[in-house]
């Protein structure tokens, strides 16, 4: 992420915090970041260990330092959490929407008050620069506030009846217990985007956070407990990589769980969907992407470079909506490549906790290996490295921010999601060719393009096979928009006025003898 963008995130956050201070008067508790390094999981309002006492380490990806050890839970504890969530659902669904909203607002407010500590723990376990972590906390908690409001507007319908003796209604009801399975790249926001909607709708949840980043999840429980969200409504089951599939399977196969919401890879999403079939669960899947970022001849090249930097290098390239393939039309190709490499050369790679860092580590060494294999493959097939192209001296989880030109379709970077700081730039001649290339993937999460030709803007916006499109914009995420993909990038939408529908069933009620 550029320093300019980091500065913007920080200033947005300051504004947000200021606007919150007006309704944060009753909640004053503040925790230091190190005391947010919890050691227990959270089930039925209790801080608990695994039954066999086993734990696994949570390490800082920047330096391998141990931050905490958390319970390595398995099927049994997951089933216990589901049972408690099912019990709590009987009560939580009968809270009025306003009662739930009041609690959610308090939850939002206390997290806002402790934003800095939440950001610190997030950076410690995920590695992203602090400015980005602060931005993520602001983004994550905004979903709790948003759905606290949306929950009050879950309207049904009164349907004009075709029969004189009948009155017809649609009621909207919470689906029940939800299994929430979340990734490490947004350890706070991906949980709150789902849990905010679920709780506002009247559902209860069992969250399985990513094995690498359970502490941000546990910190949200701590604050939920502080504001009185009842026991059993929010449960977090922590587990190591070794037990992740077992815990996921219990959530997917339990008849007591009515819905699975997952953010992560398409491969895992498919496994979870298959496991959910026998109990006919509702599913929301926010899966992998392979976003094309297209720059047409008419584009403002400087704006396109800024957009590409924001989209590609946010979270060190580890977001599902990161530009994965950068397609640039021939007239502006050289200029774009040169300017992009120049901006990237100014990045500061380092520990996210250090001042001035713009690019943190990747989540682990395997992630670095993947980026390196994409770089090596591209170079072997004729790609020219403009900047980076190698592991970074900072340590085994760091990779130098990279730009490669002369990319061709046969290279791995075109068919696989890199999930790292590599910008591959492809040259194209015509709009038709660019759209064909952009759509030549089974993924369809986000796409971006830069153009100043209004007819082209409409055509391309309609033709790109994606759930979300950025037009002359590289940063598209927001609380109020419907986030989600098509094709193998998933099902369902999160955030916006639609996000809460994922946690509601429509029941038709027919009143006879009227």
Q: Which residues are catalytic?
A: 286, 320
**Quick one: which of 259, 254, 221, 255 has its CA closest to 237?**
221
- Judged by beta carbon, residue 322 or residue 402, the one nearer ligand SIN is 322
> Quick check: 489 binds ligand SIN (CB under 6 A)?
no
The stretch among 242-250, 315-323, 356-364, 458-466 that binds ligand SIN (CB under 6 A) is 315-323
Q: How far is the CB of 237 from ligand SIN (least distance, A)?
A: 21
Region 396-455 residues binding ligand SIN, contact defined as CB under 6 A: none
Coil, strand or helix: which one is 427? strand
> Quick check: 477 binds ligand SIN (CB under 6 A)?
yes
**Quick one: which of 245, 235, 182, 246 has its CA closest to 212?**
182
> Quick check: 319 binds ligand SIN (CB under 6 A)?
yes
How many beta carbons lie within 10 A of that of residue 203, not counting itself? 28
> Quick check: 321 binds ligand SIN (CB under 6 A)?
yes
Q: How far is the CB of 320 from ligand SIN (least distance, A)?
A: 3
Region 166-185 residues binding ligand SIN, contact defined as CB under 6 A: 185
Q: How far is the CB of 331 from ligand SIN (least distance, A)?
A: 31
Q: How far is the CB of 293 from ligand SIN (least distance, A)?
A: 15
- Which H/E stretch holds residue 387? strand 384-387
- Judged by beta carbon, residue 71 or residue 135, the one nearer ligand SIN is 135
Decide if 425 contacts 387 (C-beta within 8 A). no
Q: How far is the CB of 483 from ligand SIN (least distance, A)?
A: 6
Name the closest residue to ligand SIN (Cβ): 477
Decide if 368 contacts 396 (C-beta within 8 A). yes
> Quick check: 233 binds ligand SIN (CB under 6 A)?
no
- Judged by beta carbon, residue 91 or residue 497, the one nearer ligand SIN is 497
- Judged by beta carbon, residue 431 or residue 494, the one nearer ligand SIN is 494
CA pair distance 331, 298, nearest whole angstrom: 9
Q: How far is the CB of 39 from ligand SIN (least distance, A)?
A: 28
- Judged by beta carbon, residue 202 or residue 361, the one nearer ligand SIN is 361
Beta carbons within 8 Å of 229's beta carbon, 6+ residues apart: 103, 107, 199
- Judged by beta carbon, residue 402 or residue 477, the one nearer ligand SIN is 477
Q: How far is the CB of 405 from ligand SIN (least distance, A)?
A: 26
Report residue 238 as tokens: 């922590």
Q: How far is the CB of 90 from ligand SIN (least distance, A)?
A: 33
- Judged by beta carbon, residue 397 or residue 479, the one nearer ligand SIN is 479
Rg of the Cα atoms in the chain = 23
The stretch among 5-13, 254-262, 317-325, 404-412 that binds ligand SIN (CB under 6 A) is 317-325
Alpha-carbon torsion angle 82, 183, 42, 361, nearest 10: 160
Angle at 207 between CA 23 and CA 50, to 5 degrees: 120
Q: Of 42, 56, 89, 186, which lies in the binding site for ligand SIN, with binding defined by CB under 6 A?
A: 186
Q: How far is the CB of 46 from ligand SIN (least distance, A)?
A: 31
The stretch among 109-117, 319-327, 339-347, 429-437 that binds ligand SIN (CB under 6 A) is 319-327
**Quick one: which of 418, 410, 403 has its CA closest to 369?**
418
Q: How far is the CB of 360 from ligand SIN (least distance, A)?
A: 15
Coil, strand or helix: which one is 167? strand
CA pair distance 335, 338, nearest whole angstrom: 5
> Quick check: 316 binds ligand SIN (CB under 6 A)?
no
Q: Of 263, 275, 358, 402, which lies in the binding site for ligand SIN, with binding defined by CB under 6 A?
A: 263
> Quick check: 301 binds ligand SIN (CB under 6 A)?
no
| Cα distances (angstroms) measured from residue 508 to each of 156, 280, 449 | 10, 20, 43
Report residue 330 as tokens: 């021939």
How many beta carbons lie within 10 A of that of residue 277, not counting itself? 11
> Quick check: 268 binds ligand SIN (CB under 6 A)?
no
CA pair distance 334, 331, nearest whole angstrom: 8
**Quick one: which of 292, 291, 304, 293 has its CA closest to 332?**
304
Beta carbons within 8 Å of 12's beta carbon, 6+ residues apart: 135, 138
CA pair distance 497, 492, nearest whole angstrom: 13
Report residue 430 as tokens: 């015509």
- Judged by beta carbon, residue 272 or residue 320, the one nearer ligand SIN is 320
Q: Per DSSP, which regions of 106-166 are E strands?
A: 157-159
- Judged by beta carbon, residue 210 or residue 252, the one nearer ligand SIN is 210
- Judged by beta carbon, residue 43 or residue 137, the one nearer ligand SIN is 137
The stretch among 93-101, 161-169, 314-322, 377-385 that binds ligand SIN (CB under 6 A) is 314-322
Total of residues contacting ligand SIN (CB under 6 A):
9
The stretch among 5-13, 95-103, 173-181, 318-326 that binds ligand SIN (CB under 6 A) is 318-326
Q: Per DSSP, which regions of 209-329 are E strands?
A: 234-236, 257-263, 282-286, 291-295, 323-329
> Quick check: 320 binds ligand SIN (CB under 6 A)?
yes
Could you list the residues that contact ligand SIN (CB under 6 A)?
A: 185-186, 263, 286, 319-321, 477, 483
């Amino acid at each position: 992420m550029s320093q300019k963008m980091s500065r913007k995130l920080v200033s947005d956050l300051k504004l947000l915090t200021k606007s919150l201070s007006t309704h944060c008067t009753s909640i004053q508790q503040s925790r230091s970041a190190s005391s947010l390094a919890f050691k227990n999981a959270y089930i039925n309002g209790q801080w608990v260990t695994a039954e066999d006492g086993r734990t696994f380490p949570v390490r800082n990806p920047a330096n391998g330092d141990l931050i905490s050890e958390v319970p390595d839970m398995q099927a049994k504890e997951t089933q216990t959490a589901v049972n408690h969530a099912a019990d709590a659902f009987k009560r939580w669904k009968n809270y009025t929407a306003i009662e739930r909203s009041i609690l959610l607002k308090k939850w939002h407010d206390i997290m806002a008050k402790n934003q800095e500590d939440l950001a610190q723990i997030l950076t410690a376990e995920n590695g992203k620069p602090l400015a980005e972590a602060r931005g993520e906390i602001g983004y994550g908690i905004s979903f709790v506030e948003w759905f606290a409001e949306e929950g009050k507007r879950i309207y049904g319908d009164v349907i004009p009846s075709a029969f004189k003796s009948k009155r017809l209604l649609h009621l909207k009801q919470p689906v029940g217990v939800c299994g929430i399975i979340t990734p490490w790249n947004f350890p706070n926001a991906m949980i709150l985007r789902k849990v905010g909607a679920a709780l506002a709708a009247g559902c209860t949840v069992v969250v399985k956070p990513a094995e690498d980043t359970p502490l941000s999840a546990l910190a949200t429980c701590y604050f939920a407990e502080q504001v009185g969200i009842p026991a059993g409504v929010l449960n977090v089951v922590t587990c190591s990589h070794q037990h992740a599939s077992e815990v996921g399977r219990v959530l997917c196969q339990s008849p007591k769980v009515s819905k699975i919401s997952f953010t992560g890879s398409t491969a895992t999403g498919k496994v979870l969907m298959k496991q959910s079939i026998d109990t006919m669960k509702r599913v929301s899947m926010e899966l992998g992407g392979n976003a094309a970022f297209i720059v047409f001849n008419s584009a403002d090249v400087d704006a396109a470079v800024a957009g590409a930097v924001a989209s590609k290098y946010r979270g060190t390239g580890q977001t599902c909506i990161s530009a994965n393939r950068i397609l640039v039309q021939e007239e502006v190709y050289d200029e774009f490549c040169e300017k992009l490499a120049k901006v990237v050369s100014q990045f500061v790679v380092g520990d996210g906790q250090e001042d001035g860092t713009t690019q943190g580590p990747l989540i682990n060494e395997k992630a670095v290996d993947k980026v390196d294999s994409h770089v090596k493959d591209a170079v072997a097939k004729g790609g020219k490295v403009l900047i980076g192209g190698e592991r970074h001296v900072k340590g085994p989880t760091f990779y130098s921010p990279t730009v490669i030109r002369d990319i061709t379709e046969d290279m791995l970077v075109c068919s696989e999601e890199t999930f790292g700081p590599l910008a591959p730039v492809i040259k194209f001649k015509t709009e038709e060719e660019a759209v064909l290339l952009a759509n030549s993937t089974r993924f369809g999460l986000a796409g971006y393009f830069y153009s100043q030709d209004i007819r082209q803007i409409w055509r391309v916006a309609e033709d790109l096979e994606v759930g979300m499109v950025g037009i002359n914009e590289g940063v598209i995420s927001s609380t109020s928009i419907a986030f989600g993909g098509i094709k193998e990038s998933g099902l369902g939408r999160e955030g916006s006025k639609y996000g809460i529908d994922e946690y509601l069933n429509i029941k038709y009620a027919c009143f006879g003898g009227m």
